[in-house]
Structures are given as structure tokens and as C-alpha cells.
Amino acid sequence: MTPEEIKNKIQTALPGTALKWVRDTLLIENPQDLPKVANFLKTSEEFRFDYLSSVTGADYLQYLEAVYHLYSMEKKTGPFVLRARVGRDQARIPSLVPLYRGAEYQEREAYDTYGIIFENHPDLRRIFMWEGFEGFPMRKDYVQEDSEILEASDIEWLEKHQVQVPEGMKKRAEELKKQGRRAVAERPGQPEPQ
Amino acid sequence: MEKIFSARDPSALNTETLEINFGPQHPSTHGVFRMNIVCDGETVVSLKPVMGYLHRNHEQIAENMSYAASMPYTDRLDYFNSMSNNFGYSLAVEKLANIEVPERAQYIRVIMAELTRLVNHVSVIGFLLNDLGAFFTPVLYAFREREKILDIFEEVSGARMMCNYFRFGGVKYEIQPHILQRIKEIVKKFPKFLEEFEALLSKNEILCMRCQNVGVLPKELAVSASITGPMLRASGVDYDIRKVDKYSIYGRFKFRIPLGEKGDVYDRYYVRILEMHESLKILDQALKDIPATGELVSKKMAPFLKSPRNFKPPVGEAYGRVEAPKGELGFYVVSDGTPQPWRYHVRAPSFINLTILEDMCLGHKIADVIVILGSVDIVLGEVDH
Amino acid sequence: MDTRFPSEKAYPFDSESSVGMKTEKIFSMQTLDQIFIIAKKIILGVTGHFLPDWACLLTSILISISAIAVLGPFTMMYLTLLERKVIGRMQNRIGPNRVGKWGLLQPFADGIKMLTKEDIVPLEADKVIHFLAPLFIVMPALLVFAVIPFGRNMTAVDLNVGLLFFIAVSSTTTIAIFMASWSSRNKFSLLGGMRSAAQMISYEIPMVLSVVPVIMMAGSLSTNSIVEAQSRWHGLKWFVFTPWGFLGFIIFFLCAVAECNRSPFDLPEGESEIVAGFHTEYSGMKFALFYMAEFMNSFTLSGLAVTLFLGGWQGPFLPSWIWFFLKTYALIFVMIWFRGTLPRVRVDQLMGLAWKFLLPLTLANLLVTGFWYFTSRPVRIAGSMVLLALAFWILTKLNRDVVPEKRVYHFAE
């Protein structure tokens, strides 16, 4: 079936969904339509895409994206790729866990690394990073914090456990806290964070 | 305190559940993997896996390096079967850049992939029995054969485990005829070894008592939870990527797919043994048909072997997947025309197969949890990529 | 000064044995057989000249005790080496062979290692009980060496309730294991201790009941008398060659393997699940004591099995103590063989085996022994074998849910 036919079929079955064919993949313009389209693809007789192979996040600078690869175990047909785009600040996509159990850990991974919040996910918390980690490591604008500069909360913990902290580091941490900044790693050729 | 039986009897026993942490350091969790188990006596009430102790952020590292430079990193994903990981990554990039692989290199790739499958399945059965308590004896029998195959990997690529052997468009080094001869001998002796290996195991009463009807995984739940590999086939679903996608030259070989019926631990164990027999058939056919001479890397990619940083695939994306011994190993690569990939994602089978660990373990005893985890067959390098 | 003791039985053709040895019998088989008794008599004769009566008694007791105190740990040390080498050979590798020729000095290296390790006690552990648990587990293991007949006239203390003493004292190991697991304040240890207490108590009962036919037929609880009762017909009167004795031997041996916490019943120290079970929190010498107790237990239980069923120290040509050690080590080899081959049984299956299968089987065995005792020779052999086979078949059918299912695997088209 050609891409146009597939798009037409989905749009006749679910009127009102805006779809676009991008680079051999189907882009769903409104992320809230995603569960409906996925349900249609899973249950309709001619597609029967019952196997969600992979859920990925990606960062394209202006927007974040979630990419879904669907296969059919019954009909043994090839990949069908869905995309959904969200902005960087309000990154909310409905979760596909009610349809496919396999999306559970992968959506947690996308949340942990990109910050995409999946609504209706049964247990959305960080999976690879520890609890209390701030930041989303895979985003293109993530700057890794510097391990040489301590922050105020680190110094609090150290003093609680009876470790001596030099005065210079304490002053630097208080300055950063007053400015409301994180301790960022130095890049070569850049001035130190003041 | 939780009143477990209060629904049935008002003046009930106030029992408490015990929360155990099968911590990151444990002899049987196959690596640094943690499970929070809440159990009532010895029966499991809830189980939450906690992973991330081996997270090395491989995906971000690959975004800062050229495509060929992350090939050694893929070795370290599923550090037990490095050749399959290389295979998956090369497939993805070859799809992306439309590269054709020459004939002899295809055969060499298939031979290496199937040898890896033999190594993996035989060791996994050994480790499963180790978890069951058969104090290392099956492991050492399995490792005897594994050593022979690892010696071949060393002769071919220079390293026993982290081989870094595949390149985009082919393989790196040539296989000498005497190595092919040695592989033929191994393949000839393997069925007899398998017979000896499973003679004490498949009909062993203690093994049957402990593995049958333990950790049952129904078909629909397996498909919905994106399970792949021997676990899926043991539940009765006929889906093997070698037959579905026919990637590389798997379409030319005749082999069958063993299916189980119940989906319990015993089925997964036995399906792996049957799969080993089928791999031996593929190896036989490949060793017979391999062309005697041929180029190792496609002509288009040969210059990039010396200068990998000049390799700029066209803008686009590709998802390449292989049937790794543990399941479906997929690589999603997005290119923006520069030598570094824009997005690189690994779809790790062990990670996703752990989704239904809790469902399989509810209602079983703690001793069964370890056995079920052993049959899921995880490798922490993959789970945490 | 009479150095003969009331429990000693003289040889049928030996005249008054006195302090000195008869020189014409120096190199005969009887001398070799009684060499330890003769050595003891020499020592007593030497010390008897200048010590009062009560001190001589004390010296004789001390000699017996020191012989056992050397024998026990020494056997245990070389048993560990034997196990490692035998399991190594089964796994297609050599065991330890670096320390001394063939690894013979390995136990000394292990001992030095254990002694120099740091003794870690968890912060919240119950210190007194944590300290006492290894002692309480080694004491019964050593005490039961007193009633095992190592050879002709070579029982350290010939009690006339020797068997009862053995079983009673070896049951106190359960409390020591429970002390160890509870005082460690560790969930894994707790699990191990619970499993172990349940396992040991469940397997005591078939063990004791499988020994009762022997007592019935031998007519005495004293271990020496039981060996004597098997002493005619040059070895064919061993209890193991009778139908009830054969079944009793197998059941007793299985229960002995379970009592020693060895594979396939080694749940309490189920290495792959609960790390090391009840002795997780022990290090250094205390751990060595647990280890020692396990091996000494396996030695004494094998020794008891040999005494009760396999004719004790009897056998042609060789001295009696050599026969005893040969038979005991053969049984220990079988225990090691089990460890290298079989996987572990799960806790509820273990309990099911003891209560639903072995216990009724031992009761059937008792019935058959009674039948044997009261019927005449031609009838009883066939009759008892038929009855036992029937009991076995009925019990297997009743325990059908633990029989392996046959699976059929089909291939996709």
C-alpha cells in the first residue's frame, strides 16, 4: 500500500486527525491523537500492528520527538513508524502503556533522558539515573555539572557526615546558591562561571 | 501492619510482609541488578526491578563520535555476544547509507552470528542450572565448548570477547582456510556434546520439578509486552526475525523455528537447546556454500576503513534489527549529513524482556524468582546500555 | 594393675592380655587390627607406675578424647580437600594442586587463612548468641564421635543406648543453626535459618524411623552389639542385604544427606539465592567452625550408616579399622557425587518429599520388618519384597503431582 492510501485509511477511520508523511514515517500533528491512531492500527483487520518494537525520544532543537516502531506479529509485516512532536517546555504525550505493556520501561527511559512526560503512565519515574537527579541528560542543551565545584546541598551532606570542607569551596557554593545556578563544567576557552 | 486475611475473617491474624532487597551485589542476579521483593513468608507479593547501576550513557557517547568509532562500543552492550551487536549496528548503518555487502562477507557474518548464538545458549543453560544449585558442573561442561569457539574468535578478530570485527559493508579481517576447517570440526562434534550435556538435564526429576509450571507467560501478554527471542517462542508465538525480515542472507538457509507450548521456564530451556540444533544446521549449510574468494568490504566503503571520519551518510533515519541470541536487538540511527549521528538508540532485548518479570513471579516462591530471572536471560550491559 | 576394661571383648583365641605384648604376635593381623588399643595399653602401663588409681582412669579417658580430637578435625580437613578434588574431576578440571604435592597441604593453607581473617560481627547483631552459635554447632558434631565403633573394641564409649545418644545429640544442631540465623539480624540469614530448622526437623523423623527395624532385628541400641549382630556368614548377614535393610539404608542415607545440609538438600546455605543462608554474617574462624561441623556431621552420619547397615568394621583380610574407613569414605564419596551432579530442591518440594513420601515409606518398612521377624525363611524374602514394592508403588502414585510431565515441541511451518 502506498503511503497515501495508508494515510487516507487512517483518516477515514478517525476523522479529525491531522497526519503528515515525513521521511517514510507518519507524523501525528497533535500528540493527543496518538492513542487513537495506535489503537486503530492495532485492532483494525488489515493492519494488526500488535507488536511495539521500540519507543524512542529524540531532540531536534526546536522540538522533542517520540518515535514508535510498530510491527505485526500476525501478518509478519514490516516497520510502521509513528512520530509525535512536542515543545521543549510542555512535553506531554499520552502514554501507550494501556495498549502495549512493552512501552512501560521504554517510556520511562524517554522521560529520564529527554524529559518527555507521558500522561497515564502507571509509574513514571527515572529508570537509569538516581532519584533526585536534576536535568535530562540526552537533550542537546544539557551541560554536565562539574564534579570539582561543590554545591550547597553537597556541603550540607558532607558536614552532616563529619567531613571537613575547605572554606573556599563553601564560599563558592554559597555564591552559586545565591545566584540560583548549578555548578557547570568548564569548557576550554570559556570564562569561569562567576 | 497489613491485615492480609482481614477480608475473610474479622479477628484475623495480623501478619507482616517481609521486604527483601536482592541487592546489586548478589551471586545470582547476573550482574549489578536490583530487585525489591515484598514477600509474605516465602511467596512473592510484589517485585520491582531497579536498574541503572551499569548505565554508561552509550547513546550520548555515540552522538559525539563518528559512526565507525562507536562500533567497539556496541561490543560492550551485550558483552557476552559481541558479534551480534556488531551485526545489528552494521545493518542499521547499511540501511541508512544504502551499502551492499559482498557475498563472502555475508557468509562470514552469518557464520559468526550463529557461532555466537551457540555460545550464548549453551552458557545460559549453564547459568540457569547454576542458579538452580547444580554447583557449576553444567557451566564447566558448557565452557569447554565455549572455549573452542572463543579461540576461533581470537584467531579471526584478535579478541576473545570484544571482537569489533564487523565494519559497514563487510568484515575487517580475512578468515583463513584452516580456521574454516576448525569451525567445521567444532560443528561436527557439537551434536554429540549437546547429547551428553542434556542427558543429565532434560529428564532430571529435580530440574523438571523446579522448572515446569514455574513462571508461565501467556501468549497475548508476551506479544503485548514486546517480548522477543527464545522467551517469545517458548510461549508459542512464531516470530523469528531471521525468517520474517530475512536480513543478510538468511533467506537462503533452511532451518526451522522451535516453539514451546506453555511458556514456563522448562520450555524456555528446551527451546534454547532446539535452537542450538537449528543453528548447527545453518552453520553446516553456510560452511558448505561459502565462496572461496571474495572481497571483504564493499568497494564503496573500502576507502572509509582508513579514514572513518569522512564517512557522511545521507540525511535520513534507519532502524536495523537482528535476531540476537537474547531477542530482537535494534539500532535506530538518525543522520543529519555530518560524520556524527544525530540520534543513536539501542533497543535492548534484555531491558524490554524484564517488563513482565513481576507478572511472571507473582505467587511463586523466592527460590523461583531466581530461576525465572535466569530464564529471562539478561545481560546488564544491555539492560543499562 | 589391671588395665582391662569391662566393655572390652577379648579375641576368641587370645589369652590373658597383660601389660606387655606377646612377642610372637607382633606382626600378625590381630596386632595390626588392635594396634591402637595396644598403643593405649602401653601408655597406660608406662604412666600407671607413678600415678594413683583415679588418675589412671582419667588418663585413659584423656587418651580416648585426644585420639578423637585429632581424628575429627583431621578427617574434616582432608575431607574438604577430597571434596574439592573429586568435584573438580567431575567438572573436567583438577582440584587444588599447588600447595604441596597433589594439594595435600591445602587444608593447612585454608586453616591459616581462616585464622588470620578479620572477625566481623554486624553492628546490631546479638553478640552473645552470635558468639555461641558456632560452638553449639561443633559440640554435638564432636560428641557423637564417642559412640561410633571405629574397629573391633574401638568404640570410645560403649554405651548401651549408643544409638539413642547419637540421634539425640545430633538433633541439637538445629538450635545452633537457628541461633546463628536469628542473631545475625539479616533477612537472608533469617530465611536460611527458617528453612534449615524446618528441613532438619522434617528429616529427623524418617531418619529415626528407618533405623528402628535395625534395632528390632539386632535387639539392642548399642552400636557395638548392632555390628556384632551382623557378624555371621562372612558378610552376607549385613542388614543391607535384606529387603527392609536395603530400603532402610537408602532412606537413612537420604535423610543423612538432608541433615548435613548437603546438595541436593542444601537450601539453608543455598548459595545462589540467599548468598550463604544462616552463616552469611560469619567470617574467619567462626565460619571455619560451621564448615567443620558440616563435614564432621557428614562423616559421623556416614559412619553410622556403615555401622547400622553395612556391617560396621567387618570384612576379610584387612584390619577392622581400615574396613570401617573404607566403607565410610565410599559413602562420603557418594555424597560428594550427589553434590556435583544434582540441582537443588525447592523448600516446599523438600517438605513434601519428607512428609508425604519418606515417612509413610518408613512406616511400611517397619511393618515389613515385623513380618520378616515372624515368618519363616523361604516365605519371608519373597513376601517382604512384594510388600515393599507395593508400598513404593502406592506412594509414587499418590505423589503424582511431582512427577515430570512429558512435553512435545513442534516446529513452525
Please tell me the predicted confidence (pLDDT) of residue B103.
Answer: 92
Nearest CA in chain B to A98: B224
Q: Is the pTM of this model over 0.80?
A: yes
- Give me the CATH number covering residue A62: 3.30.460.80
On whether the CB atoms of residues C186 and C280 are closer than 8 A, the answer is yes
Q: How far is CA B181 from CA B158, B184, C114, C273, in A?
A: 18, 5, 50, 43
Q: How far is CA B235 from CA B223, B277, B330, C279, C349, in A?
A: 10, 19, 22, 39, 25
Of A86, A76, A79, the C-alpha closest to A24 is A79
Please tell me the predicted confidence (pLDDT) of residue C125.
Answer: 81
**Strand, coil or helix: A118:** strand
Instruction: Decide if pLDDT at C177 tops 80.
Output: yes
CB contact B258 to C (< 8 Å): yes
Is there a contact between C344 and B134 if contact means CB atoms under 8 Å apart?
A: yes
Q: Which three cell numbers stand for residue B199?
A: 542427558
C-alpha span between C174 and B201 (Å, rounded): 33
Any domain includes A171? yes
Q: Which are the contacts of A113, defined by CB distance < 8 A and separation ≥ 6?
A: A57, A128, A136, A137, A138, A139, B59
Please tell me the predicted confidence (pLDDT) of residue C413.
Answer: 64
Distance to chain B for C35, nearest Cα, Å:
41
Question: Residue C138's beta-bridge partner residues?
Answer: none
Is A15 found in the same domain as A94? yes
Please tell me the predicted confidence (pLDDT) of residue C13.
Answer: 35
Is A159 found in the same domain as A63? no
Tell me the residues of chain C between 264 and 293 that have a Cβ less than 8 Å away from chain B: 264, 266-267, 270-275
Any domain includes A194? no
Of A41, A42, A65, the C-alpha closest to A55 is A65
Interface ipTM: 0.88
The count of CB pairs under 8 A between chains A and B is: 80
Q: In the structure, do chain C and chain A come into contact, i.e. share 3 or more CB pairs under 8 Å?
A: no
Is there a contact between A130 and B52 if contact means CB atoms under 8 Å apart?
A: yes
C-alpha span between A52 and A32 (Å, rounded): 18
Residue ranges of chain B with pLDDT lower than 70? Answer: 1-13, 27-29
Is A182 found in the same domain as A105? no
Question: Residue B318's beta-bridge partner residues?
Answer: B333
> Which residues of chain B are within 8 Å of residue A105 when distances are taken between CB atoms?
351-352, 354-355
Is A152 found in the same domain as A62? no
> Which residues of chain B are within 8 Å of residue C343 when distances are taken between CB atoms?
129, 132-134, 204, 206-207, 210
Which range, of A34-38, B242-246, C180-184, C205-209, averages the lowest pLDDT?
C180-184
Any domain includes A62? yes
Please tell me the predicted confidence (pLDDT) of residue B13.
Answer: 66
Please tell me the predicted confidence (pLDDT) of residue B275.
Answer: 93
Is A43 found in the same domain as A107? yes
> Which residues of chain A are within 8 Å of residue B51 when distances are taken between CB atoms?
127-128
Rg value, chain A, Cα: 22
Is there a contact between B239 and A105 if contact means CB atoms under 8 Å apart?
A: no
Please tell me the predicted confidence (pLDDT) of residue C211.
Answer: 92
Is A155 found in the same domain as A115? no
Instruction: Decide if pLDDT at C2 tops 50.
Output: no
- What are the pLDDT digits (tens) for C20-51? 344 444 456 777 778 888 888 888 888 878 87
How many domains does the structure of chain A reveal?
A: 2
C-alpha span between B324 and B382 (Å, rounded): 12
Distance to chain B for C266, nearest Cα, Å:
9
| The residue count for chain A | 194
Give me the mean pLDDT over the C114-143 stretch. 88
Nearest CA in chain B to C84: B135
CB contact B36 to C (< 8 Å): no
The domain locations on chain C are: 1-109, 117-398
Q: How far is CA B305 from CA B101, B166, B167, B169, C62, in A?
A: 14, 11, 8, 10, 82
Is A77 found in the same domain as A110? yes
Residue position matching grid coordinates 538516581? A130
Pairwise pLDDT comparison (B13 vs A90), residue with the higher score: A90
C-alpha span between C230 and C249 (Å, rounded): 14
- Note down the domain range covering A159: 143-186
Give me the mean pLDDT over the C143-169 stretch. 87
Any domain includes A105? yes
Is A107 found in the same domain as A38? yes
Nearest CA in chain B to C341: B134
> Which residues of chain C are within 8 Å of residue B131 when distances are taken between CB atoms?
272-273
Distance to chain B for A156, nearest Cα, Å:
25
Instruction: Decide if pLDDT at A1 tops 80.
Output: no
Q: What H or E segment, with its residue span, contains residue C339?
A: helix C320-341
Phi and psi of A45, rounded to 5°? -70, -30
Q: Tell which of A65, A87, A119 closes a domain.
A: A119
Q: pLDDT exceeding 90 applies to what percent of chain A? A: 16
The mean predicted confidence, pLDDT, of chain A is 83
Any domain includes A131? no
Identity at B63, one-letter amino acid code:
E
C-alpha span between C248 and C226 (Å, rounded): 15
Please tell me the predicted confidence (pLDDT) of residue C16.
Answer: 41
Is A169 found in the same domain as A86? no
- What are the pLDDT digits (tens) for C287-296? 888 888 888 8
- What are the pLDDT digits (tens) for A121-171? 988 888 998 887 878 888 888 877 666 677 777 788 888 888 888 888 888
Put residue C234 in one of left, alpha, beta given phi > 0 → left and psi -120 to 50 → alpha.
Answer: left
Q: How far is CA B298 from CA B86, B252, B303, in A?
A: 17, 21, 10
C-alpha span between B203 and B266 (Å, rounded): 11
C-alpha span between A101 and B132 (Å, rounded): 29
Please tell me the predicted confidence (pLDDT) of residue A25.
Answer: 86
Is there a contact between B51 and A127 if contact means CB atoms under 8 Å apart?
A: yes
C-alpha span between C409 and C412 (Å, rounded): 10
